[in-house]
Structures are given as structure tokens and as C-alpha cells.
Amino acid sequence: MSIIPLNITNLNGFALTQDSQNNFVTPIELPDWPYVLGGPAGQGTIRDRPEDFSVYENLSFSPSGEGEHVFLQIEKSGENTEYVARCLARFADVRQQDVSYAGLKDRHAVTTQWFSVWLPGKQAPDWSFIETDTMRVLQEVRHARKLKRGVLSGNRFKIVIRQWQGEKALTQSHLETLQKEGIANYFGEQRFGHGGQNVTKALAMFKGMKCKREQRSIYLSAARSYLFNCLLARRVAQNTWNQPLPGDTYVFDLSHSFFTMEQPDETIVKRLSAKQIHPAVFLWGKGMKMDDYLDPSLPSCLSELAQGLSDAGLEPDIRPLRINVESLSWQYLTENELELSFTLPAGSYATAVLREIIKH
């Protein structure tokens, strides 16, 4: 679905988007963000089939068993989250906004996630009638409040890499390092649209290009994520993504609580080493000053993206530069099939782990 109002011109394989004044907006390319481990030691394919990529949501609380909202734990394969939500709304004969979920999940995967359906004073239907070859209901439980975005403690992944080839000893070393030290908390490439086009469209939107409300939200998110990745990439390149710097802000592990320290002391160093806290930067929003974060070594478009996000009135948020990779294990199913299992905090991407291990 295109929202570009005028012509598209091609330059070196990238589309140029025109803003409302008929000026071309130079496309923003997604860089190959710096690697923590210097680059992958192998290559292979993922998502060869849905069952090769499994995701299991862990809620941050237990539903009470009573209330107006029916919580459903659903396993789906080859279906996206919004499609399942629409099916639930139609089957329960409720409005689309009466169905909610904690997070979007990949379509080309087997995912187990939670949905809630608001049924005040109503008997729940027999959910087994909604089940298909690609969707089944695993649990049903009541709760007093609807399911809100982000209320997860994390996601558990099991990923099979097929046609794997590479250096086994170096791959083993990389996995052991990730297990011990964590990983740079990059946003995944899916956040930016194909080839980073959502970031380019965000820049065009800031220059006056018209778009629908839901598209605006997607472009704002892409722009903010791109800014974060650029700031994180600079720290990775400097090898300071997991080290304290003067004036750094720190986030407690698995928390949104944070504090700032002008000069890191021995306690900060010890807590960082124990992975109890992580260096963090703010996701861009109103009131933030570009001089505090951006410098001439970063792409010039970042100032325009930052200004556009500030003008959009977004509230700043915080995101750690590092995350722990919990319960990381691996095994070779065959000589050319590597299986990885791990858990990440909510909002983090499995691709941040995979890109350090394989080129895919």
C-alpha cells in the first residue's frame, strides 16, 4: 500500500520520495550496524518453514481468574497477530477495539501469545469452534483488565538455522560470549520496512507528505528506532556499549527505572559487570536537545529526524544499550542444522542475537 503522492524516481536502486513541495527526499539506507563480536562466523537460512522459528510469550503477571476480560493463549502458525485479533472479534461479535494483545508476533513462525476479549456480563463462546489448522486455543482465563501492549516479561525463542556452514569453534566462542556478556540491543530490521523505506517516509512526512494516522505511527516508530540504532552503533564501534561513560544514564535490568551518573564509580562498574544495570539512551521525544546526543560524526539526516520527532510531540522513553540473553543453549541437530534457544526481554529482537552468529 503506497502513500507516496507523486512520482517515484530510482537512484542506485533506491526510490526517491517527494514531499509536499515536490522536493525529492534522499532515501535513508539501513547500514550494516557494527557487530559486537566482529561479525558472524557462519551462514545459513532461517524461517525455511514456520516451525523453524518458534516464539513463546511470557506474561509479566498471572490472570486472576475473574473479570470482564477473557484472556486466551493462542498458538498460531503462518498467521499474523492482527488477523487473529480480527477473527476473535468476529467470532465473539464484539468491536475490534475490544480485542487486545501484548505484542505483535511474526507471521512466518509458530508463536504462542495472549489475547484478551472484553465480554462484560456475557458468557464466553466455545472458542474451540474458531480453531483451524493454523490456530488453536491453549488456555482460557478471566481477568479484570484488558491486556495492554508491552506487559510481557519477555519472549522465549527456539530457532533452527538450516544449511548452516561456518567455523564451529568460533561460533561456539561467540555463543559463549553472548551468554556471558549479553548483546547490543539493536532494533530489528523489520522495524524499518523493506530497505528502510519507513525511515525515508518519516523524513518525507516531516517535510509535509500526507499520510494516514496508522501509517504516521509506523513512520514515527521507524524514525525513533533508527535514531536509537545509530546512537547504539556509535557506542558499539567505540566498544563502550557495555561500559560506563561520564554522564551516562543506566537502566536496571528488566525494568524501566533509571538513574544518571555524572562520573561512574567503582559501584557502577561492578553492577555493570554483573549485568544488574545497563547503559541506556532515551528514545527521541519532545524536550530532548540534539546537541546532547548528535555530533558531526553521525549522519546529517539524524538532526532532521530528531527535530521531526520533537515536533510530533512524542514523550521520550528509555531503552538499554545492552540486554541479557537468558537461558541461551545451542545444539547441532545435524552437521548443517544449528538450533538456538534463548529468552529476551520484551521489546528486544531475536535478530540482534542471530546477526552476531550467522549471515542469513
Catalytic residue positions, numbered: 106
> What residues are paired with 155 via a beta bridge?
57, 344
Do residues 151 and 61 make contact, with C-beta atoms less than 8 angstroms apart? yes
Angle at 328 between CA 327 and CA 332, to 5 degrees: 135
Cα distance between residue 70 and residue 162, in whole Å:
39
Distance CA 244, CA 264 (A): 6
- SS3 state at 96: helix
> CA 164 → CA 167, 339, 342, distances in Å?
10, 10, 19
Residue 248 half-sphere exposure toward CB, CA atoms < 13 A: 25
At CB < 8 A and 24+ separation, what contacts does 23-29 make? 23/207, 25/200, 25/203, 25/204, 25/207, 25/209, 26/301, 27/195, 27/196, 27/197, 27/200, 28/196, 28/199, 28/200, 28/203, 28/226, 28/299, 28/301, 29/195, 29/196
Ordered strands of the 14-18 beta sheet: 9-11, 14-18, 24-25
Q: Which residues contact 295 (CB under 8 A, 6 or more apart)?
A: none
Which grid coordinates are listed for 153? 516479561
HSE-up of 191 (CA within 13 Å, CB side)?
21
C-alpha cell at 120: 462484560
Angle between helices 168-181 and 350-357 (to 10 degrees): 140
